[in-house]
A = this chain, B = another copy of it.
């Protein structure tokens, strides 16, 4: 490929966002890019294939002053985890044609420095490439660097490695035992669907909540949850939980926070455990909802733990060893919601906060 000037469509963040993000906070824009590696440079020219949409990205749409969180820059493309193909490389670790994942721009082509973008080469291509934005995504170096600086001050923890997050959050944080009762909120999402399947594999009784009939059906038919309910159709979340957990909940894997969290607290069993993975119901509120039932933690001796997966990076090999055969054998399924075309990326991202995605939200920019 010669040194060519190319059109490069991009998704630009127009300004910092308050409240729920809107598609109009972003702009689909044409720019020009020169697809070359300057003499002596170690940059890599990428053709972007898949982009990941994740709840944590909401925090980056704010102007976070006095914080080490990397806000997006208004006027520039949104960035996030993605899968790409190497067109040209000034770095000897990457060759033309390599498939990679890492931090890329929301655009057709990106020119990146591998270390700054935490590029990682994809070796196993016998699974859908998009899985590298979700169930299989992980990168040691990236996390060790990025999370260390982001997480201290971040109002929300990084969320862009759903597979290992589900694994670590369930097995390490929840200390689950066979036969225990498990509740998962946002259960059809990128993380929740895996937590439910892991819990079933272990012999737990598993109930999930989601926000549409389609998702609720999928929880039972696709992921094997014992029970599932649509939280939007429940007048009384406490009563809904009592319907499915007459003896209480041993483990709550919380992805939503807020009212559901409060309802769960009064339904926990003695010595229950709560893994706090995320609070998507709260990210767009100016002031988060108050949680009123924390007294339950005392009477029931509950252990509640916030976690970020980077603290458990040593488990990644063990996770891969477990998950890849399960995926190939069809024992673990992973549902993605793939929006076709970069122009649909803003809608896909915004949709996360209204629960429009069914499974892990991905944007397909280009097939390989």
Contact = CB atoms under 8 A, between A and B. Distances in A.
A170 to B, nearest CB: 16
Contact of A294 (B153, B279, B311): B279
Contacts of A300: 151-152, 306
Nearest to A272: B306
A289 interface: yes
Given A152-B270, A303-B305, A294 B297 contact: no
A299 B257 contact: no
From A276, A291, A306, A307, name the one whose CB has the most chain B CB atoms within 10 angstroms: A306
A295 B293 CA distance: 16
Contacts of A279: 294-295, 298
Contacts of A296: 306
Contacts of A301: 151, 305-308, 311
A356 to B, nearest CB: 23
Contact of A157 (B153, B261, B276, B299): B299
A312 to B, nearest CB: 10
Nearest to A261: B294
A288 interface: yes
Contacts of A278: 298
B299 A151 contact: yes
A302 interface: yes
A291 B297 CA distance: 13
A282 interface: yes
A367 interface: no
Interface string A144-177: 0000000111111100000000000000000000
A296 B277 CA distance: 11
A324 interface: no
A278 B311 CA distance: 30
Contact of A292 (B270, B288, B303): B288
Nearest to A271: B311
A303 B153 CA distance: 17
A290 interface: yes
A71 B129 CA distance: 61
Nearest to A298: B306
Contacts of A156: 295, 298-299
B299 A306 contact: yes
A304 interface: yes
A220 to B, nearest CB: 29
23 contacts: A152-B270, A153-B299, A156-B298, A157-B299, A276-B294, A279-B294, A279-B295, A279-B298, A288-B293, A288-B294, A288-B295, A290-B290, A291-B291, A291-B292, A298-B306, A298-B307, A298-B308, A299-B306, A299-B308, A300-B306, A301-B307, A302-B305, A303-B305
Given A297-B305, A300-B306, 4 more contacts: A152-B299, A152-B300, A261-B294, A277-B298
